[in-house]
Structure 1
Amino acid sequence: MSDIVLHGYWRSGTSYRTRIALALKGLDYDYRAVDLRAGEQHGETYRALQPQGLVPAMEVGGDVLVQSPAIIEYLEERWPEPALLPTGPVDRAAVRGMAAIIGCDVHPLGNLRILKYLTGELGQPPESVRSWVNRWIGDGFAALETLIAKHGGAFAFGDRPGLVECYLLPQVYSAARFQTDLSPFPKLMAVAERALADERIAAAHPDRQPDADGETK
C-alpha cells in the first residue's frame, strides 16, 4: 500500500496530467476512482476531502492536496529528481507559461461542468458545444506550436518530457474527442506522439485506468 492516494476519474484531464507527473517521477500510488458521471464528486464523503467536488485530490502523509497545478508543484518540490522543470529561472518560467496556456486558458473552458452548463442551462446543441471547445483548443495550440518551435527539441521544451507534456497530452486527448482539426500543429503533435511512445506516460492514458469504461462522449 502506497503513502500516496490519488482520487481521480479516468477521463478527467486534470487527473490525467497528475498521473503523468507521478509516472515521470516514478512514484507508486493507490488509485481511488471518483465517478463524475454518477455524481460521486458531490457526495459528502468526497466533499469532505475536496470541498469543490473536483478531481483530482491527493492524500499524502495524512494531508490532502487539491488542484492539479498545486499537486504537481508539490511533487516537483518533494521529489525534485527526475525533474519536470529545467534549471534556470527563465527556462522554468517559460515551461510554466507553456503549461499555463492549457491549464489556465484552454482546459477550464472545456471541462465537464462547463460543458454541462452549456448544454443544460444554456440549451446549446452538440454542434455549438463542439465549436466552443474547438475554438479555445485551436487558439491555445496555435500559441504552443510557436513556442515549441522556439523552445522544443525532442519534446516541448528541450529533449526530455516534463511539465508541458503533463498538460499537453490530456488536451490532445480531449481534442480528439471533440474532433478538433490538429493538422495545423505538426510540431505539437510530433511531441505528443513521441511522449506517448514512452511507456511511463502511456501507462497514465485514460484507457488504461481501472475505472475506464470505453465511453467516448
Structure 2
Amino acid sequence: MAYSNDDKTDKLKLYSYWRSSCGHRVRIALSLKGIEYEYIPVNLLKGDQFDPDFMKINPMATVPALVDGDVVITDSFAIIMYLDEKYPEPPLLPRDLHKRALNYQAAIIISSSIQPHQNLAVIRYIEEKTNAQEKIAWVHNTIKKGYSALEKLLANCAGKYATGDEVYLADLFLAAQIHGAMIKFQIDVESYPTLAKCYASYNELSVFQDAIPAKQPDAPARTI
C-alpha cells in the first residue's frame, strides 16, 4: 500500500544526512510503507546541524528529524514507531510477542550499544584525545561486540530476514548498521553467518536499495 497526502496536508519532511545510519533506517521505513516525503539535507561535516533554524527543530543538533505538520520527532526509533502507527501497512512489528520482543532487542542493541559509539561526534572526540589508531580500534571493538550479540540473539529465529521471512523493525536497523560499517569502517559481516544471510536478503529488495546513502540527493556524485 502506498500512502500519499490526499488530505491536503503537506508532505512529511525528513531532515537527514546521506551517511547517517539513523537517517538510513528511517528512509527504509518510509520506503517500505510507500510514504511520500520531502528530503531536506543537513550537512553534518559543514556543521549545518548547529544552524539556529535547525536547532529550533532539534535542539540536540542531530539527524534525522521528521516534521509532520505541527508534529516534530527527532529520534529515529521514535520516528519509525510514529510512522508504523500512523501508516500501519505493512506492519513493522510481528503479532507474535516473542518475535516482537526480539525485534525490539535487536533494534536497541544497534541504537544504544553500537551506533552511539561510532557516530561522528564521538569518534572525533576520541581522535582528538588520543589518535587515529585508537579511534579505529574503538569503532571496530564496539561494532564487533555488538555484532556478536546480534548473531547470538538472531541465530535461532532468523529466516530470510532477522526474525523470520517478513521484514520487520530489526531489519531496518540491521541493514543500515551493516551497510554503514562496511562503507565507513570497512567492517564486513562474513564472520557472522546470520547477519550476512540477512544482509544478502536486503540487497535483493528495491525498498532497501532505494534507501542506501549513495542514492540520496545530498550524496556526492562519486558515491553513486
Measured in 1, the distance between the counterparts of 2:222 and 2:135 equals 18
Measured in 2, the distance between the counterparts of 1:181 and 1:22 equals 26
Q: Secondary structure at the match of 2:13?
A: strand
CA drift of 1:215 comes to 7.7
Measured in 2, the distance between the counterparts of 1:170 and 1:118 equals 23
Measured in 1, the distance between the counterparts of 2:11 and 2:221 equals 29
CA drift of 1:214 comes to 5.9
Q: Quick check: 1:134–1:175 contact (8 Å CA) kept in 2?
A: no
Corresponding position of 2:116: 108
Matches within 5 A, 1:151-190: 151-176=157-182, 177-190=184-197
Measured in 2, the distance between the counterparts of 1:189 and 1:174 equals 14
Measured in 1, the distance between the counterparts of 2:193 and 2:119 equals 25
Measured in 1, the distance between the counterparts of 2:166 and 2:97 equals 18
Q: Secondary structure at the match of 1:64?
A: strand
TM-score norm. by structure 2 comes to 0.91
Residues 30-86 of structure 1 deviation map (CA, whole Å, 9 limit, x = unaligned) = 000000000000010100110100000001022111100100010111111101110
Gap regions ≥5 residues in structure 2: none
CA drift of 1:25 comes to 1.2
Measured in 2, the distance between the counterparts of 1:27 and 1:47 equals 25
Corresponding position of 1:192: 199
Structure 1 segments, 4+ long, off by >3 Å, are none
Range with greater deviation from structure 2 (142-151 or 29-38): 142-151
Q: Quick check: 2:127–2:134 contact (8 Å CA) kept in 1?
A: no
Q: Quick check: 2:15–2:66 contact (8 Å CA) kept in 1?
A: yes
Corresponding position of 1:126: 132
Range with greater deviation from structure 2 (200-209 or 175-184): 175-184
Measured in 2, the distance between the counterparts of 1:17 and 1:139 equals 21
Paired AA for residue 5 in structure 1: K
CA drift of 1:195 comes to 0.7
Q: 1:215 to 1:50 in 2, by over 3 A?
A: farther
CA drift of 1:191 comes to 0.5
What is the identity percentage for the equivalent residue pairs of Structure 1 and Structure 2? Answer: 36
Q: 1:8 aligns with which of 16, 31, 38?
A: 16
Q: Quick check: 2:178–2:188 contact (8 Å CA) kept in 1?
A: no
Gap regions ≥5 residues in structure 1: none
- The alignment of Structure 1 onto Structure 2 pairs a total of residues equal to 214
TM-score norm. by structure 1 comes to 0.94
Paired AA for residue 81 in structure 2: E
Q: 2:103 aligns with which of 95, 103, 115?
A: 95
Paired AA for residue 97 in structure 1: Q
Measured in 2, the distance between the counterparts of 1:111 and 1:214 equals 23
